[in-house]
Structure 1
Amino acid sequence: MVKVAALIVAAGRGKRFGGELPKQYLPLGGRPVLRHSLARFAAHPDVALVRAVIHPDDRDLYDAAAHGLTTLLEPVPGGAERQDSVRLGLESLVEAAPDVVLIHDGARPLIDGALIDRVIAALGEQPGAIPALPVADTLKRGNGRLIGETVERANLWRAQTPQGFRFPDLLAAHRAAAGRTLTDDAAVLEAAGASVALVEGAEDNVKITTPIDLARAESLFRGPGEPRIGSGFDVHRLGPGSSVTLCGIELPHDQGLIGHSDADVPMHALTDALLGTINAGDIGRHFPPSDMRWKGAPSSIFLAHAGALIDALGGRILNVDITMMCERPKIGPHRARMANKLAEILRIPASRISIKATTTETLGFTGREEGIAAQATALVALPF
């Protein structure tokens, strides 16, 4: 599989916007602009690494914006110019050795997953690819306050980010271009003689440059939001042990659940359901079983991460429904504690959490008490 990294460039001071607070840390839908950008890449199922490049003075602002997004790499300080910041970010990824890198403006908070997909797909044929929109307006070149000439708009495009590149090619191009001032990363690769593809951009992928841009973006966060439904299913085998953990509650049992983490079946199913509402892949993409950091880890880490991604995107968890399938232990006596535990992790009222259990009438692997299964459904409202 192609290993994809994303660099979120957020070291600028936003002088054109005005004000004391850099624009990437201004509130949008109740959260910093940068948090939306970080969350959209952290949630993408094909992006393995996400790192921000920030101004050295902004670490406290960054920490507040990134709080709860546990899979982000440590940020690195940027340079005097954007081009310097990108080069420093690329150098910081050398050891990780991604195949592909996406460079995105931290002040473009409304990027969608389909656009990211298009950029990544285009890199199968070209060393670089950028999203862009064709110029529709008639263009005029000015001569002071007068028209100097009309510019032919055919084959003119408005470039956006994320701009995607094969990592070794862009790193070499940036090293060669150090000291020059080029307008974007595509221009850096072009200067090295490589081809860059154009893919379809998106009108909503606006860069926050002026207060009007921020107001336009803010309008998308008004109203009830778009409903999204996700589902999840998980199974874990029963084996030697004296207890099982279900929905974060340890229950005495004559067997234990076997898994890389704590094998909390319903919590794993619910995590997948929540990730499904934002098209963020599955639990294994964010917490691969090959990573020993998650050996024996409490599944509350996984569920909290899914909840944080939804929150960072401005979403609201409306309700979740879990059904466990097992002969034993009996779930009914523990249902309220389980709901309260999940509510605490997701920071939603327990009244939004439904927990049920059923047997399979001694049929199948759950009936033979070889394992426990769970399925979950979640309903989330997203801003757009």
Structure 2
Amino acid sequence: MASQEYAIIVAGGKGTRMNSATPKQFMLLNGTPILMHTLEAFFKYSDHIQIILVLPSADISTWTDLCIRHNFKRQLLITSGGASRFESVKNGLAQIKDETGLVAIHDGVRPLISPDIIAASFRLAAVHQSAIAAVRLKESIRITDQDTTKAVDRANYRLIQTPQTFAVKLIKQAYMIKEEASLTDDASVAERAGYKISLFEGSYENIKVTTPEDIAVAEALLNYKEHGS
């Protein structure tokens, strides 16, 4: 029997880099809130996945209104986030009572995630206990140290994305460690707790929407995926 699959969608952005009072996860992408695109990708992957949406307490009523306005009726569990991403993920994990399943943790503002990438993350996490989406660098990179700068081999580096998928028991145990500013994602939390991290090939389309330019890029990519032009 296959393990139960969960997804924690973390949506706590404030929209500051968007120069907008509207939280970025609620901004419209082709007429639909970004967060709804993200959630639909997971439901397209599976009707049986259990989704936990983590929102700031102050934004839950706004989300409820948006669901009514956009006729969004998907069944999911909503829980309040914390003061940081670390706390928000921990709150989401607390909603999972199962210790044997798999959980994908994903940014609410990565709306172009594909069901194929989600499927790969669960398939690989079932084998390796972790599966972190990552892509190779396209540009040259340099490391800087005050007045000096030095070229480094980009082949040795990866850009980390989400989903970051784990055995539930592993990631719950990992989140028992103390929060630190250097723990910027779930992979770094698991690694700090002593677990091995496995990467798999993500997608350059799986962008994180954080600036106004990202909205334009996401809309272009979405239109291309839907219409081929």
TM-score higher than 0.5: yes
Q: Does 1:158 align with 2:159?
A: yes
CA distance in 1, matches of 2:48, 2:196: 23
Q: Alpha carbons of 1:118 and 1:224: their partners in 2 closer, same or farther (altered >3 Å)?
A: closer
TM-superposition CA deviations, 1:339-358 (whole Å, max 9, x none): xxxxxxxxxxxxxxxxxxxx
Equivalent in the alignment of 1:207: 208
Distance 1:157 1:77, change over 3 A: same
| Paired residues of 1:131 and 1:198 also in contact (CA < 8 A) | yes
Sequence identity (%)? 33
Aligned equivalents of 1:189, 1:224: Cα separation in 2: 34
1:11 shift after superposition: 1.6
> 1:3 — aligned with what?
4
- Does the CA-based 8 Å contact 1:4-1:99 persist in structure 2? yes
TM-score w.r.t. length of structure 2: 0.90
SS in 2 for 1:21: coil
For residues 145 and 55 of structure 2, the distance between their equivalents in structure 1, rounded to whole angstroms, comes to 37
- Corresponding residue SS for 1:50: strand
Paired position in structure 2 for 1:325: none
User: How far off is 1:48 after superposition?
Assistant: 1.8
Question: Structure 1: any 5+ residue segments left out of the alignment?
Answer: 227-382
State the partner residue of 1:58.
59
Are residue 81 (structure 1) and residue 84 (structure 2) matched?
yes
Preserved contact between residue 34 and residue 109 of structure 1 (Cα < 8 Å): yes
Flag the 1:3–1:22 CA change in 2: closer, same or farther, 3 A: same
> Contact 2:9 / 2:53 at 8 angstroms: preserved in 1?
yes
Looking at structure 2, the residues matched to 162 and 138 of structure 1 have their Cα atoms a distance apart, in angstroms, of 25
Partners of 1:47 and 1:103 lie apart in 2 by 16
Q: Which residue of 1 aligns with 2:189?
A: 188
Q: 1:224, CA displacement in angstroms?
A: 10
Q: Distance in 2 between matches of 1:48 and 1:224?
A: 24
Q: Deviations over 1:89-113 (max 9, x none)?
A: 101122x556000000000000001
2:118 and 2:223 map into 1 onto residues whose CA distance is 25
CA-based RMSD of the aligned residues comes to 2.2
The answer (yes or no) to whether the contact 1:37–1:109 under 8 Å persists in 2 is yes
2:142 and 2:225 map into 1 onto residues whose CA distance is 41
> TM-score scaled by structure 1?
0.55
Task: Give the distance between the partners of 1:166 and 1:223, measured in 2 at CA.
Answer: 34
Deviations 1:131-175 (A, max 9, x none): 11011211122356x652222322210111111000011011001
Q: What is the Cα deviation at residue 12 of structure 1?
A: 2.4
In structure 2, what is the equivalent of residue 124 of structure 1?
126
1:154 to 1:82, Cα distance in 2 relative to 1, 3 A: same
1:149 partner amino acid: K
Say whether residues 1:103 and 2:105 are aligned partners: yes
SS of 2:175's partner is helix
Instruction: Name the count of aligned residue pairs.
Output: 225
> Counting helix residues as a fraction of each chain, which structure ranks higher?
2
Aligned in 2, Cα 1:92/1:61: closer, same or farther, shift over 3 Å?
same
> Where does structure 2 lack aligned partners over 5 or more consecutive residues?
none
Q: Does the CA contact (< 8 Å) of 1:6 and 1:47 recur in 2?
A: no
Q: Flag the 1:14–1:218 CA change in 2: closer, same or farther, 3 A.
A: same
Pick from 86, 91, 94: which aligns with 2:94? 91
Partner of 2:19: 18
- Tell me the SS of whatever aligns to 1:204: coil
* Aligned residue in 1 for 2:138: 136
